[in-house]
Homo-oligomer: A and B are copies of this chain.
Amino acid sequence: MTPFIQRESSIPLYSQLYHWIKTEIEEGRLPPGTKIPSIRQLTDYLQISRNTVEAAYQQLQAEGYLESVPRSGIWVAEIEERLAHSSEEVPSLVIERERVRKSVIDFKYGNVDVIKFPFKRWKKCLSDAMEEEGELLSQYSNKQGEWSLRREIATYLLQSRGVHTRPEQILITSGTQSAVEIICRLLKLQGKEVAIEEPGYSGVRTVFVDQGCEMVPVPLEKDGLSIYHLQKSKAKAVYVTPSHQFPFGMILPVGKRTQMLNWAYQSAGYIIEDDYDGEFRYQGQPIPSLKSLDEEEKVIYLGTFSKSFLPSMRMSFIVFPPSLMKQYGQKFSDYDQPVSPMIQVAMAKFMHAGDFERHIRRMRKTYQRKHQTLLNSIEQHLGNKVEIIGEKSGLHILLELQGQAAPQVIEKGLKKGVKVYAPSRFWLHPISDSQRYIMLGFGGLSIEEIEEGIALLASCI
């Protein structure tokens, strides 16, 4: 935020700030509903006293220019005579939550590294998509997803995941949750038992519950989901994360994969294989995906671009067995494709030119370095005070605590400026044991932040 403040002026600083903001609002550059920086943020940013900012804000609130909403922030208020719609850009002073200068090192799961993201190439693909496909943009797109993208995904899955599929079997969706919704409706799982990992990904569990499925939480063993418990259940389908169990991180061994397939063949059940994080494996040999081992059309494969590309693309895909794809075509023919064809075609171009593979290779190296830094820092600062869980692949790990419970550590961490998370919500039926773990996502942090963050965390454990 760069209000024009003259420290040498005879006009008091609070008055300068007050007039500057008031003018911005009156001239429409700060329209009603704009969130403005908190007092603390602006104090930090302008390096002026808290009192100065407070006085200016109070005056503006008293005059009805600003509005303070408890637990939300301070906003530009609606004013009666709205001025002509300004054609200027939002001034860069509008600090939004996301762009606040980092004061906390946040081990948030789900963030990815964009420092090395090939923005230039991606922008070129977007631009080409719009120029070459002008007519495409004027229409509703292919309901199943753009053919060119499905073709590239098929090629990619064969090369990188050993999955033989044809573009005809692929459905583009706007995220894993909507993919699971579609599967529930297609397999008519309402009122039926569906097996899930306990603990497991709660975002998908919510969808099953909301679609009226009966949840069967299947306990985890050291090497993943208990096949014994799955066999004992009456589940019509099982949802699994075999490449990197969420959140424990174990990789399902090939023996268990075969047993799971046999369960599906014998019970006429379906396996929903969520292959998130399959791209980022740091140790050991790759294990074939369930889909690539399936011989009886019982595996439904879910892939996402959220981890391998950008979470903000909101693009996932389902690979159906041919029989189910046919049913989808019949039952869902009235449904429009939810992902913008502009993004789909741009992604197809990005993949076709080899940029996607290059990006994945680059990111695998980047994440491997971050991952190694994380393990080294933990070793150095925390030694035998914690146990590391799920460290062979993916963009997060768990730490098992000794003595302390997660909420205490999280609270202490926040005070020290490091944010870690409790995975307890991933249990359908939380047990006291679930309090022993904390979760650390490292995708979006730099090497230095990881080192500093673990050092800070060590002082809390």
Task: Say whether A141 faces chain B, with CB atoms less than 8 Å apart.
Answer: yes
- C-alpha spacing A194/B394, complex, angstroms: 46
Instruction: Decide if B313 touches A89 in the complex (CB within 8 Å).
Output: no
What residues of B have a CB within 8 angstroms of the CB of A339 in the complex? 174, 314
Instruction: Decide if B334 touches A139 in the complex (CB within 8 Å).
Output: no
Whether A203 contacts B127 in the complex (CB less than 8 A), given A154-B33, A312-B138, comes out as: no
- C-alpha spacing A340/B122, complex, angstroms: 15
Closest to A212 in B: B190
Count class of interface residues, chain A: 35 or more
Task: Say whether A310 faces chain B, with CB atoms less than 8 Å apart.
Answer: yes
What residues of B have a CB within 8 angstroms of the CB of A117 in the complex? 137-138
Whether A342 contacts B354 in the complex (CB less than 8 A), given A33-B151, A134-B114, A139-B110, comes out as: no
Whether A342 contacts B312 in the complex (CB less than 8 A), given A87-B354, A90-B148, A96-B147, comes out as: yes
Task: Say whether A35 faces chain B, with CB atoms less than 8 Å apart.
Answer: yes
Task: Say whether A336 faces chain B, with CB atoms less than 8 Å apart.
Answer: yes
Select A113's contact among B113, B119, B138, beta carbons within 8 Å: B138
Closest to A122 in B: B130
What residues of B have a CB within 8 angstroms of the CB of A86 in the complex? 352, 354
Task: Say whether A412 faces chain B, with CB atoms less than 8 Å apart.
Answer: no
Instruction: Decide if B31 touches A151 in the complex (CB within 8 Å).
Output: yes
Cβ of A331 to closest chain B Cβ, rounded Å: 9
Task: Say whether A292 faces chain B, with CB atoms less than 8 Å apart.
Answer: no
Whether A33 contacts B177 in the complex (CB less than 8 A), given A114-B135, A139-B311, A353-B87, comes out as: no
Whether A174 contacts B174 in the complex (CB less than 8 A), given A31-B155, A138-B111, A139-B444, comes out as: yes
Q: Which of A109-163 contact B (CB under 8 A)?
A: 110-114, 117, 119, 122-123, 126-127, 130-141, 147-148, 151, 154-155, 159
Whether A311 contacts B123 in the complex (CB less than 8 A), given A85-B354, A202-B334, comes out as: no
Task: Say whether A335 faces chain B, with CB atoms less than 8 Å apart.
Answer: yes
Task: Say whether A98 faces chain B, with CB atoms less than 8 Å apart.
Answer: yes
Task: Say whether A199 faces chain B, with CB atoms less than 8 Å apart.
Answer: no
Q: Which of A334-388 contact B (CB under 8 A)?
A: 334-343, 349, 352-354, 357
Cβ of A201 to closest chain B Cβ, rounded Å: 10
Whether A312 contacts B90 in the complex (CB less than 8 A), given A175-B338, A338-B175, A339-B174, comes out as: no
Task: Say whether A267 faces chain B, with CB atoms less than 8 Å apart.
Answer: no
Instruction: Decide if A311 touches B138 in the complex (CB within 8 Å).
Output: yes
Instruction: Decide if B340 touches A314 in the complex (CB within 8 Å).
Output: yes
Q: Which residues of A line the B interface, CB within 8 A? A: 31-35, 85-90, 92, 96, 98-99, 110-114, 117, 119, 122-123, 126-127, 130-141, 147-148, 151, 154-155, 159, 166-167, 174-175, 177-178, 185, 202-203, 206, 210, 306, 310-315, 334-343, 349, 352-354, 357, 444
Q: What would 12 A/B residue contacts be, using CB atoms closer than 8 Å? A: A32-B151, A32-B155, A85-B354, A88-B353, A96-B148, A112-B138, A123-B127, A123-B130, A126-B126, A137-B312, A139-B312, A140-B312
Q: A35-B147, A98-B133, A314-B338 are in contact. List 5 more A-B contacts (CB 8 A).
A: A114-B135, A117-B138, A139-B312, A203-B336, A314-B336
